[in-house]
Amino acid sequence: MACAAALWPGFAGPAAAESPVSATACGTPLDAAEIATITELSDMDTIAGADGVQRLVEVGERNAQIMEILVAHGDRRGLFALMNDTADRATVLPMIRSGAGLTDPQRDAQFFFEGYEAWLRAVHAEFTGVPIAWQWAPYFGLAGNCAESGAYVAMVGYNAHMSVDIPQALASTGIGPDNSADYFKLMDAIAVNNPTLVSRTKQTYNADVGPLWRFYFFGEGLDRITGEGVGSTMLLRSALASVNATNLANGVGLANPATRGITTTAINATWGAIDGVLATLTKVNGL
């Protein structure tokens, strides 16, 4: 299946650069067999599931295997794999499998599958040396810079996922205001389970994403760099429900050819603004 971003050729951010394959990112080196395994697991062209749920199960299992390899080496490229595993495989998938309270589990599964797809295609690019999707390139670059905090690396990955990949997945799966109830319910479940995500990331990588996580969804700490009260008017001050609503609106905008261009510009700007503020908050607060 083609990545959602390919549906909109005009969707572009900073140019991706060629990157050599690295055996390590601040951990012990992976051997050639492990790199080959990650390359194979992240190859989205070999997904065999016949429907959305089967595909979601398959990518979740692949992501978990990649995570296990990287975590065993302390390789920080596994930070987002760990977060994704906690949010999707441990939280969302059981809800979709049961179908309880959901109106369209197959569509829901396809939406989360496409979010995984964007991430795993970036992993595949990282481990084959081809250009990485622009929104994911900073994550992999920072993962190998041991002077940067693990929490910052993790949240840069989460920003790529939330600001760019989710609107694309919403658009390509046809989720809009009329059929968004499941989307909000599932995203809320992830929010409810966020203490598990924070504690698991800290336990595994000694990376406390809590402060930056709270900033991302609630704007906590933003006034420290914008001035007292200024941050409260910005998107970054919004609660999780508002972030999800903004992503839904951006998904609708991407799906409409008449608004695709302006929506793409807005998404790029949001991604860049959050990326910059995450960096500044990390330095200001020593996170």
The string of pLDDT tens digits covering residues 149-184 is 999 999 899 999 999 999 999 999 999 999 999 999
> Which comes out higher in pLDDT, residue 161 or 239?
161
- Segment 127-146, tens digit of pLDDT: 999 999 999 999 999 999 99
pTM of the model: 0.85
Residue with token string 């395994």: 37
pLDDT of residue 16: 46
Joined tokens for residue 60: 């979740």
CB 166 within 8 A of CB 115: yes
Task: With a cut of 90, say whether residue 81 has pLDDT above it.
Answer: yes
Minimum mean pLDDT among 52-56, 58-62, 232-236, 262-266: which range? 232-236
CB 48 within 8 A of CB 60: no
pLDDT of residue 12: 45
The C-alpha atoms of residue 183 and residue 228 are separated, in whole angstroms, by: 34
pLDDT of residue 125: 97
Task: With a cut of 70, say whether residue 113 has pLDDT above it.
Answer: yes
- The full set of domain ranges for the chain reads 26-285
User: pLDDT above 70 covers what percent of the chain?
Assistant: 82
How many other C-beta atoms can be found within 10 angstroms of the C-beta atom of residue 75?
A: 25
Task: With a cut of 50, say whether residue 238 has pLDDT above it.
Answer: no
pLDDT interval class at 232 (50, 70, 90):
very low
Q: For residue 207, which of 286, 90, 287 has the smallest C-alpha distance? A: 287
Quick one: residue 221, left, alpha or beta (phi over 0 = left, psi -120 to 50 = alpha)? left
- Segment 186-229, tens digit of pLDDT: 988 887 777 888 889 999 999 888 776 666 555 555 445 444 44
Task: With a cut of 90, say whether residue 79 has pLDDT above it.
Answer: yes
The C-alpha atoms of residue 187 and residue 120 are separated, in whole angstroms, by: 20
CB 126 within 8 A of CB 233: no
The C-alpha atoms of residue 138 and residue 3 are separated, in whole angstroms, by: 19
Strand, coil or helix: 101? coil
pLDDT of residue 225: 45
